[in-house]
Every structure is written in structure tokens, then in C-alpha cells.
Chain A
Amino acid sequence: MNRFVLPLAVFAALVALLAVGLTLNPREVPSPLIDKPAPRFELPQLHQPAKTFSEKDMLGKVWILNVWASWCVSCREEHPVLIDLAASGVVPLFGLNYKDKREDGLAWLKTFGDPYQLSIHDFEGRVGIDYGVYGVPETYVIDKRGVIRYKRIGALTPEIVRSKVLPLVRELGRG
């Protein structure tokens, strides 16, 4: 009887390890950018290509940068969540139109609605690389000092907005 105890314990430990592993999402790679200054950019705006927008324009404010594209399926899924978030007026939402044709991006916003104060146009995906983007949509919460405080890879859901994004935005707004 006794000699079964150890193998059984080892087996149970292995099962526990694998069970925990199953609940983790391998696509979610922790970003090294958390608590680092938001990478610099200066990109033309989607609607007015003659004007540019830079992360510096938002110093002193808590804001959200959302990476989207008209070719991205999950963005469509995420879109109503962003519309609701924008309508709440709690935090300004900016879009980074990633590797998209300008007319496609504009048409997409026209069809589904535009939750963003403005979107910038990153046709070559350079700024995307600086922000470590690899799975659109991605969302960054940036604080008043221009530091990235939160990153979400993949679509935002109402639960995540309620439990993570909004509490963080409120806390950062106070500080």
C-alpha cells in the first residue's frame, strides 16, 4: 500500500500542474512595456492626414490607446465595447489604425461608428512594433506622466472594462 503513495502523489502534482496550465493563455505574453514610458510616435491622423498626433499631446491626461484595423475580425467583436466606453466619457479613447489602407479604415469607422477622439494611421506598422503589437486588437492604458500602466492583448470585453480598465483609470485619474 505504502509504495503507491509516492507515485500517486507525483501523479496528482502533475495533474494539478497541467490543469493550471490549461487555464493559462499562451497567446498572452507579458509585455515588457508595463510601467515604462509609452514609446514615442508622431503619426498622421486618419481623418486629416495633414495633421499629426503624438503621445506627448496627451501628457497630463489618463488615456487609452486602442490598436485596431479594418481587417481584424476581433476588432469588430470588440467594437461595441469601445463605443460604450467612449459614450461613458470616463476616459479619452484614441485609435491606432494598424497596417490598414486609409480608405478601408475610414470606411470601417463610417460603417460601425467611431468611438475614438481621433485615430492615427500606422500604415507600415512601425509604431506597432515599437508598442510590441502582435495581436490586434490591443489596448494600452497610459497615465498622466505618459507611462503605460496596462496592456490588453486581444479584444476588450465588458467584464475586463468593468473589472480592470475602469478601476485603473479612476485610480490614475486621482493620482
Chain B
Amino acid sequence: MVRLLALVLLAMTAAWAPAKEATPAAQDPALEQRVMALSNELRCLVCQNQTIADSNAPLAEDLRNQVREKMRLGASDSEILDFMVARYGDFVLYRPPFKAATFLLWFGPLLLLAAGLLVLLRRLLRRQPAQDVAMTAAERKRVADLLAGDETERR
């Protein structure tokens, strides 16, 4: 009975699966893959923390269409990125380019880490070694007793 139910359920999911995957309306999967790959490199300016591949904003859709169309016409990825940067600026690139203006962005964390290490190093070097403290005769005796396993020190 259980096996039959499982089979029925499995058959049902199998019937749904293709219906769900039919949504991307592209005839050319290779092109579509290129479109999505490049769309992941482009920021959606409407919802700024998403790429145009993630975003459902109308502008993101338009830009994806633009990318697709340019690829169909044989544009290279870098040509399309240049096209976008000319209109929307470097901000449209999801990975900011290396430039004088973005130096702090790329190397800021590294500089902070270096500063932290420097502070740590200075502290460690400046730290005084622990001083030996002389023991009194009474203390010495007690240590000797403890090591000898004297009964009176046992609890």
C-alpha cells in the first residue's frame, strides 16, 4: 500500500516537473547560459544589491533583453560590459574594477588587517617577561611536604 502511494506520488511529481521548467522561454540554451552568466556580473540599479540576473525589476528585465539581443548580434561579453558602463557607470559592474578610486575598497580590509597585526606585534614585543618571585622557607617546606605526599596535606 505504502509502496503504491509512493509510486503515485512519484508519478505526480514527474508530471509536474517539466511543466515548471518550461518557463524560461529561450530556444537557445547556450545563449541563455551566456546571458545569465553576464547578467550575474551586472548590478540592478533599481534594487542595488541584486544583479540583473536576480532581479525582477522591469529595468533588470530590459537590460537582460538588451544583453541577449547584443549577444545574438555577436557582441562579446566585454563589449556589452562597456556598453553598460558607458550608460550607468562603474556602479553597474557587480565586481568593482581596480582603479585609483576603488583602491580603498579593494585593499581597505587588507590595510586594516595589517594595522591590527602591527598593533598586536608591538604589544607582544613590549610585554615584560614574568619575574621570578623568591619563595620563603615556609613555602619551600610546604612544597617539599606536598611532593612527598605528607598525610596532613590530604583532604
Contact = CB atoms under 8 A, between A and B. Distances in A.
A102 B41 CA distance: 34
Interface residues of A, number: 18
Interface string B14-56: 0000000000000000000000000000000110100000000
B85 A134 contact: no
Contacts of A124: 62
B79 to A, nearest CB: 15
B46 A132 contact: no
Contact of A32 (B45, B46, B62, B85): B85
A30 B87 CA distance: 11
A135 B89 contact: no
Contacts of A39: 87
A31 interface: yes
Interface in B77-110: 85-91
> Contact residue range for chain B?
10 to 19
Contacts of B87: 32-33, 39, 129-132
Contacts of B63: 129
B117 interface: no
A132 B90 CA distance: 12
A135 B44 CA distance: 11
B66 A129 contact: yes
B62 A125 contact: yes
Given A134-B46, A134-B59, A29 B66 contact: no
Interface string A120-136: 00001100111110110
Interface of B: 45-46, 48, 58-59, 62-63, 66, 85-91
Interface of A: 26-27, 29-33, 39, 99, 124-125, 128-132, 134-135
Given A39-B87, A131-B87, 6 more contacts: A29-B91, A32-B88, A129-B66, A129-B87, A132-B89, A135-B46
